[in-house]
Structure 1
């Protein structure tokens, strides 16, 4: 039978080795000698705070005894959440995810601990300790998979939001796995979940899914809006406070999403109808500051998108209107700038318009073309795709006009971005554009291109393995 060492044996050995008595060690550790004595003799268990003090006093790195703590005080013991909870938070602080895995695995046979672990996960998420929170959400979801509970649905929502990242193929998988749980969420949580799901599908350019999710979100939001103003109950108003945006926004944002779907499909007339719909917000009953802020945003977006839809449909005279709009627009963000430049470049490439002078206005923004970190699903997902797409359109424009240095610079940026996003379709588009103009690339650019292709190839080999053709 394997003998498991104990922390108290390690401490006792250290005291003998260093020639320290309990009182002396207690002074070093800042602990009462009685507590040290009780720990050494085995008459008292210890808290994680006491363990950290003992570890520091022994000159050992933080968390040195955590595996032993699990063995000595958690595994094969009745779960004591007063001991386990602070231990989990401390493990999260030190990024000791394996220790969290062991603890949760040891106690999650009993569903009674699901609510507490869920609470801990929520607190860890609020602290930004996403990796640790994800472990707890996954175990709670696993334990409750046959319960069809709202908690299970919330866990799946949290797992989805944590897992969504740079890799678009993984994002598609995360969205597909999460979607069936939306109906089990609280009515208000459903609206934010649908908004986040739509934004992920939008970044993936899965336009049929964007439209499907947007229509569901609009229908649910309309029902909630009617109920809110019919009942005017405190309970109904309190429930809407859970939302990240005013309730009317989910109705109007659904129209905006549908407009983007039809724009992407080249149906500019239908896109304009939806754009006019979210521009007209006279039906909104609220008048508070937050509402006015969002109404202003929708009107701002609508004004720009009416011009853009007319421009992309072939009315090239609208380009000057768009430039004037850009020059007079207030509170323009970096995200706005890249979308504006993208729209201009799509029109320029589609209708062979010389926009060299216009591009110069965006030079400062082009220097800072980069991906953004954000907790908002739109900024986190849709905007990086626009940056990569903008790089491709700029490359297309410059290469077809024989400005090869600028063209290849933007093309390499776009290729790297699409590789980061793991978007194979658009990465291949970039490859095709490069190969079409390869005779105009300088040796350094060709070398950079080949190095990137080799890197992508090696990554795919590592990810997918190799096939042994012997036999």
Structure 2
């Protein structure tokens, strides 16, 4: 009967072919010699991290992703899921475009619905590291497998997927708006502000002026409410969690008026459009302005 290769047997075979000892491998990879000994000689063996596998791959002289087909046995077997190893592995597979391995690991993970949290963590790490396009696959998986569609995880995934889906394709951008719109008002205040501004901007690019006007109204109303709440906190000297937004609060307030005015003008409602110019033309009165806020006021 043929013996199935394992990640260790394959590495050991190639080490012998190249005349590498563990000491030499330790020198080439920077991995502690004792750790290497535990990986290859202990019973049971010490698990290999994906970073260690990548270092070994470089040391031996192979292309990135070598032996990834065998790596799931280290992190994602039906009887044993290792969160600390499977998350970095899925991220690396995403970076290398190994979708077949992602599908294989996801199939194992989804045998237990609780593992949707692993997919969410992968998506968040990819998104926050600037790999928004790669994160979209994992946010879709979270949305498809999250049972509670009122959970923060589900709602944030909807928002992040919307942001990750935006690009140069006009039709796809409109589809992203349609998918995300029903969830916009169920987000936290910070994400709602960001989401409404993005919705308005996408519709602006699509020349959907009535939609721009609608989202601008919502943005202006929410920014006003948030501003009033922040001012009350300041007066009471109440210590609370800072508002989490991508831009300064003054941006959302000013853009709400600016987008409203432009949308009305584009619809030929010139006199009505003028009513909103004062809402963004001079925002020097806006309190809570730090250095960033003052620069934003100058730009608006």
CA contact (8 A) 1:153 1:181 kept: yes
1:125 is matched with: 127
2:14 is matched with: 14
Question: 1:295/1:53 Cα in 2 relative to 1: closer, same or farther (>3 Å)?
Answer: closer
Structure with higher Rg: it is: 1
2:40 is matched with: 39
1:151 is matched with: 153
How far apart, CA to CA, are the structure 2 residues paired with 1:51 and 1:287? Answer: 49
Question: 1:252/1:60 Cα in 2 relative to 1: closer, same or farther (>3 Å)?
Answer: closer
Deviation at 1:106, TM superposition (A): 2.3
1:220 to 219, 222, 237: 222
Once the two structures are superposed, the pairs formed by residues 53-92 of structure 1 within 5 Å of their partners are 53-71=55-73, 73-92=75-94
Consecutive unaligned residues of structure 2, counting only runs of 5 or more, are: none
1:164 is matched with: 166
Deviation at 1:55, TM superposition (A): 2.8
How far apart, CA to CA, are the structure 2 residues paired with 1:174 and 1:272? Answer: 31
TM-score (norm 2): 0.84
> What is the CA deviation profile of residues 74-128 of structure 1, one whole-angstrom value per residue up to 9, with x for unaligned ones?
2334111122233234334444344334333421443433445433432322222
Question: 1:25/1:268 Cα in 2 relative to 1: closer, same or farther (>3 Å)?
Answer: closer
CA contact (8 A) 2:57 2:64 kept: yes
Question: 1:70/1:262 Cα in 2 relative to 1: closer, same or farther (>3 Å)?
Answer: same
Deviation at 1:16, TM superposition (A): 5.5
How far apart, CA to CA, are the structure 2 residues paired with 1:251 and 1:96? Answer: 43
How far apart, CA to CA, are the structure 2 residues paired with 1:296 and 1:22? Answer: 61
> What is the CA deviation profile of residues 346-382 of structure 1, one whole-angstrom value per residue up to 9, with x for unaligned ones?
xxxxxxxxxxxxxxxxxxxxxxxxxxxxxxxxxxxxx
Deviation at 1:265, TM superposition (A): 1.1
Deviation at 1:14, TM superposition (A): 3.4
Deviation at 1:49, TM superposition (A): 3.0
1:174 is matched with: 176
Aligned residue pair count: 297
How far apart, CA to CA, are the structure 1 residues paired with 2:144 and 2:299? Answer: 41
Question: 1:246/1:20 Cα in 2 relative to 1: closer, same or farther (>3 Å)?
Answer: closer
How far apart, CA to CA, are the structure 2 residues paired with 1:283 and 1:33? Answer: 64
Deviation at 1:287, TM superposition (A): 4.9
Deviation at 1:292, TM superposition (A): 3.1
TM-score (norm 1): 0.56
1:247 is matched with: 249
How far apart, CA to CA, are the structure 2 residues paired with 1:243 and 1:3? Answer: 55
How far apart, CA to CA, are the structure 2 residues paired with 1:116 and 1:265? Answer: 47
CA contact (8 A) 2:95 2:134 kept: no
Once the two structures are superposed, the pairs formed by residues 195-274 of structure 1 within 5 Å of their partners are 195-232=197-234, 238-240=241-243, 242-274=244-276
> What is the CA deviation profile of residues 376-418 of structure 1, one whole-angstrom value per residue up to 9, with x for unaligned ones?
xxxxxxxxxxxxxxxxxxxxxxxxxxxxxxxxxxxxxxxxxxx
CA contact (8 A) 2:48 2:74 kept: no
> What is the CA deviation profile of residues 175-203 of structure 1, one whole-angstrom value per residue up to 9, with x for unaligned ones?
11011111221122111110011100111
- Greater fraction helix: 1
RMSD: 3.1
Consecutive unaligned residues of structure 1, counting only runs of 5 or more, are: 299-471
Question: 1:235/1:200 Cα in 2 relative to 1: closer, same or farther (>3 Å)?
Answer: farther
Question: 1:213/1:3 Cα in 2 relative to 1: closer, same or farther (>3 Å)?
Answer: farther
CA contact (8 A) 2:143 2:157 kept: yes
Once the two structures are superposed, the pairs formed by residues 353-372 of structure 1 within 5 Å of their partners are none
1:366 is matched with: none
Deviation at 1:64, TM superposition (A): 1.1
Question: 1:268/1:73 Cα in 2 relative to 1: closer, same or farther (>3 Å)?
Answer: closer
